[in-house]
Amino acid sequence: MAEEKEGGLVFHPLDQFIVKPLFGDGPVQWYTVTNLTLWMAIALLAIIGVFVLGSRGRAVIPSRIQSIGELIYGFIYKMVEDVTGKDGVKYFPYIMTLFLFILFSNYLALIPMSYSPTSMIAVTAVLGFGVFICVTALGFILNGPKFLGLFWMSDAPAILRPIIAVIEVISYFVRPVSHSIRLAGNIMAGHAVLKVFAGFAALALVSPFAIFGIVAIYGLEVLVCGIQAYVFTILTCVYLRDALHPSH
């Protein structure tokens, strides 16, 4: 280890996730403007750029940026409509907000030296548990006690029903955990691996392999960023469908 340190092979793959105040050196309070704030703001500005400025012309024949916005709009709208049904369409703006925040944060995090808010477990936990709490509350408000029918398989054999109910309840409460850790884990692991390869690139002998590895992992990350945003959104839609139509 000592030898490696002398050769310049010091890498801290997790340092990229440190939250730093943007102005001054004080402790990070809940209101402090940090690098995380900066990159969330950049994501917000990018979303405004694509969806508000891009569609400014309201053109029937869209400009390039407007057609990107329309493509994403149509994609998510169709997903919400297909998965949750016609009555789920009124929740489309919320799901669109989630999708856009995750998608833009994921892709902006691929810019070198940037910060990735979606790799923070606190961020994705708020998203995941937020979805879980909203969907559960919605299920009880819309269906009342009938929402509990979600856990009661009426077409299963009578002996198995209580066992299945227990399993269903456990799996229901695991949902927000897996929902949030899936996203944070994927993004964090990808960025950490990129950093490890980057650290190896300092070693002349293996640097060609390391750089090839960085390119390959980066390409993989481009896929993962889109797929994770998609997975998070479609799972939200699935949970929402359960709340709207709890009967199996």
Site residues for another protein per CB under 8 A? 12, 14-15, 17-20, 25-32, 34, 36-37, 40-41, 43-44, 47-48, 51-52, 55, 58-60, 62, 66, 69-70, 73-74, 92-94, 96-98, 100-101, 117, 119-123, 126-127, 184, 188
Nearer to another protein, 40 or 210 (CB): 40
Q: Tell me if residue 13 falls in helix, strand or coil.
A: coil
Closer of 156 and 192 to another protein (Cβ): 192
Angle between helices 64-84 and 92-108 (to 10 degrees): 130
Shortest distance (Å) from residue 125 CB to another protein: 9
Q: Give the nearest distance from C-beta 84 to another protein in angstroms.
A: 17
203: alpha, beta or left? (left if phi > 0; alpha if psi -120 to 50): beta
Least distance in angstroms from the C-beta of 240 to another protein: 16
Q: Which is nearer to another protein, 122 or 137 (CB)?
A: 122
CA 70 vs CA 45, 51, 94: distances in Å: 18, 8, 17
Nearer to another protein, 187 or 201 (CB): 187
Least spacing, CB of residue 218 vs another protein, in Å: 21
Minimum distance of another protein from residue 70's CB (angstroms): 6
Q: How far is the CB of 50 from another protein (least distance, A)?
A: 9
- Comparing CA positions, the residue from 211, 230, 226 lying closest to residue 110 is 226
Q: Degrees (nearest 5) of the Cα angle 162, 166, 172? A: 135
What is the rounded distance in angstroms from the CA atom of residue 132 to the CA atom of residue 176? 6
Q: Between residues 52 and 163, which has the closer beta carbon with respect to another protein?
A: 52
Inter-CA distances, 220 with 41, 114, 199, 235, 236, Å? 26, 18, 19, 22, 24
Q: What whole-number distance in Å separates Cα of residue 48 and Cα of residue 11?
A: 36
Output DSSP code: residue 50: I
Nearer to another protein, 105 or 150 (CB): 105
